[in-house]
Amino acid sequence: MPRYALKIEYNGAPFAGWQRQTDQTTVQGTIEAALANLEPRSHQIAAAGRTDAGVHARGQIAHADMEKAWDPFRLSEALNYHLRPAPVAITACAEVAPDWHARFSALERRYLFRLLVRRPPAVHEKGAVWQVKNRLDLSAMQKGANALVGKHDFTTFRSTICQAESPVKTLDELSISQHPVPAGMEFHFFLRARSFLHNQVRSIVGTLERVGAGAWTPEDVTKALAARNRAACGPVCPPQGLYLQSVLYENDPFA
């Protein structure tokens, strides 16, 4: 059976996350239903990462096995037709080796979190950012972020229901930038690692927001990490500002 890599973009707002569920609408279930319109049977696709409810993606990667050989462009066009009107799009498609795996072949995952500081309610960006009203100190947040870069036990910054075998992960990059927007400022948190723990990004961003607001010091982040205790974590921020930005492979199937 030919295997195809799919690059996927979606708005996570109406979905109960990526992973298929019998009683709720999910991104995986929506794509598998579209595949069933092309080849009527049960389909099971695998993704590079299982995003939570409300989390968006600009470069999620999945693979699908088909019974017949499809031209990749025609497959993506057909899927996009059957995905309508769901806020999901296949932005690229490529045939890959039968042993290529969207999850296990991935070398790195990159996430972006958008945090909007603005007094007036967000209008055009509603649902696409996490909005707060208090001013944030970029320098303080970056100092706190620097303590998290590298190989650490991230027990403090992972969900209590995380199923990962080990809390030890290597965070290769955590950089923060600010961008002026009408009536406010948008902060971008860029995180890069081979893999992430459940709720790790949202736990980190929620904690760093407290640093930026002055409720925590950068040193408090170091102490929280060393505590290896979920209770030491700051508040977990909401999902709507989080994007799975891209996934890196040794050989980019879409190059």
**pLDDT, tens digit only, all 255 positions of the chain:** 899 999 999 999 999 999 999 999 999 999 999 999 999 999 999 999 999 999 999 999 999 999 999 999 999 999 999 999 999 999 999 999 999 999 999 999 999 999 999 999 999 999 999 999 999 999 999 999 999 999 999 999 999 999 999 999 999 999 999 999 999 999 999 999 999 999 999 999 999 999 999 999 999 999 999 999 999 999 999 999 999 999 999 999 999
Task: Please tell me the class of the 107-246 domain.
Answer: alpha beta
Whole-structure pTM over 0.85, yes or no? yes
What span, in angstroms and rounded, lies between the C-alpha atoms of 135 and 203?
Answer: 20
Tell me the pLDDT tens digit for each residue of 105-157. Answer: 999 999 999 999 999 999 999 999 999 999 999 999 999 999 999 999 999 99
CATH architecture of 3-104: 2-Layer Sandwich (3.30)
Tell me the pLDDT tens digit for each residue of 199-221. Answer: 999 999 999 999 999 999 999 99
Please check whether the two domains, 3-104 and 107-246, share a CATH topology: yes
DSSP 58-101: EEEEEEEE-SS---HHHHHHHHHHHHTTSSEEEEEEEEE-TT--
Question: Catalytic residue positions?
Answer: 52
What lies within 8 Å, CB to CB, of 115 at 6+ separation is: 129, 130, 131, 132, 136, 186, 187, 188, 189, 205, 209, 237, 241
Domain locations along the chain: 3-104, 107-246
